[in-house]
Amino acid sequence: MKPIEVKNLKKQFKTTEAVKGINFSINQSETLALLGPNGCGKTTTIGMLLGLITPTSGNIFINEEELNYKDHQFLNIMNFASPYVELPKKLTVLENLKVYGRMYLIKNFKEKIDQLIEDLNLKPFLNKRTGELSSGQKNRVSLAKSLINDPKILLLDEPTASLDPDTGDYVRSYLEKYKKENDISILLASHNMDEVTRLSDYVLMMKEGQIIDHGKAKDLIDKHGRENLEQVFLKLVRQKNEH
C-alpha cells in the first residue's frame, strides 16, 4: 500500500499555473524529498496534500483512498511541521502539547506527551512560554506537536531552516531514529542538500510546477556527473534558464 500517490496533479491560480500535472508516490517507510527553487510549486503541492488547497485537477490518494477535501478524517494519520507555522506563543510548551493532544483525540495523551518530552528533551523549558524559546527549542516543540498523533505520514517543510548546525543535526538524527522505530513515511521539502542526501530515500526535483528529474540522491549525483546534490540542483535549475 502506498501511503501517498499523486496522479496528474494540477493547480492553477488565476493566470499562474503553479503545479503542472505532476505524478509521484511515496512508499511505506520511505522519505521522499521535494527539491526546487522558491516558487517551483513545492508549497502548493504540500498544501494540496494537506487539504489546504483544492487542486484544479488530478488525484491524490492517501493509503489508496482518494483524498476527500470535504472530510478531513485523512488528517488523523498525517501531521505537518514547518518553522513558518508556529504554536501559540503565549501558551507554555506543555499547554500547547496538551491542546494538540486533545485536538487529535489522543488516547492516553499524557503518556504520549511524557514520551515526546523525554525523546525530544523538552523538560528544561516545558513550562516556558513558546514565544520565549530559541529557534532550536521552538523547532523541537513543533516537531513534538507533529508527532503527537503518531502520524503514518509526516510532511516537513524545511524542518531545520534557521537552526545552528548542532541543533540541525540533533533534529535530523531524531527524525532518522523516529522513522526507523515507527515505520512512517515522510515528505520532506528542504533547501538543505546535505539534509536531503542524509534523510531521503528518493528525490524529486521540481521547477516551474513540473518534476524535472527524480531518483535516489546518489543516482542523481552520478547521473549528472557532479560531486554532490547541491551541484546537481544548481545544474538543473540553471540549465533551463540558460535556454
Number of residues that bind another protein (CB under 8 A): 38
Residues 96-115 that bind another protein (CB under 8 A): 98-100, 102-105
Does 238 interact with another protein (rule: CB under 8 A)?
A: no
Distance of CA 193 to the CA centre of its chain: 15
Q: Which is nearer to another protein, 24 or 100 (CB)?
A: 100
Residue 210: name the closest of 5, 4, 10, 65 by CA: 10
- State which residue, 203 or 206, has the beta carbon closest to another protein: 206
Q: How far is the CB of 21 from another protein (least distance, A)?
A: 17
Interaction of residue 242 with another protein, rule CB under 8 A: no
Residue 78 or 220: the one with the smaller Cβ distance to another protein is 78
Nearer of residues 34 and 53 to another protein, judged by Cβ: 53
80, β-bridge pairs? 155
CB of 105 to another protein, least distance (A): 8
Does 237 participate in binding another protein (rule CB under 8 A)?
no
Assess contact for 19 and 74: CB atoms under 8 A.
no
Chain residues 66-85 in contact with another protein, contact rule CB under 8 A: 69, 72-73, 75-76, 78-80, 82, 84-85
Build a one-symbol-per-residue string for 141-170: x at contacts with another protein by CB under 8 A, - elsewhere: ----x-------------------------
Can residue 241 be called a binding residue for another protein (CB under 8 A)? no
Residue 17 interacts with another protein (CB under 8 A): yes or no = no
Could you please report the per-residue DSSP string of the chain? --SEEEEEEEEEETTEEEEEEEEEEE-TT-EEEEE--TTSSHHHHHHHHTTSS--SEEEEEETTEE--TT-GGGGGGEEEE-TTS---TTSBHHHHHHHHHHHTT-TTHHHHHHHHHHHTT-GGGTTSBGGGS-HHHHHHHHHHHHTTT--SEEEEESTTTT--HHHHHHHHHHHHHHHHHHT-EEEEE-S-HHHHHHH-SEEEEEETTEEEEEE-HHHHHHHTT-SSHHHHHHHHHHHHHH-
Q: How far is the CB of 86 from another protein (least distance, A)?
A: 4
Considering only residues 31 to 50 of the shown chain, the ones binding another protein according to CB under 8 A are 43-44, 47, 50
Interface residue list for another protein (CB under 8 A): 11, 13, 18, 43-44, 47, 50-54, 69, 72-73, 75-76, 78-80, 82, 84-92, 95, 98-100, 102-105, 145
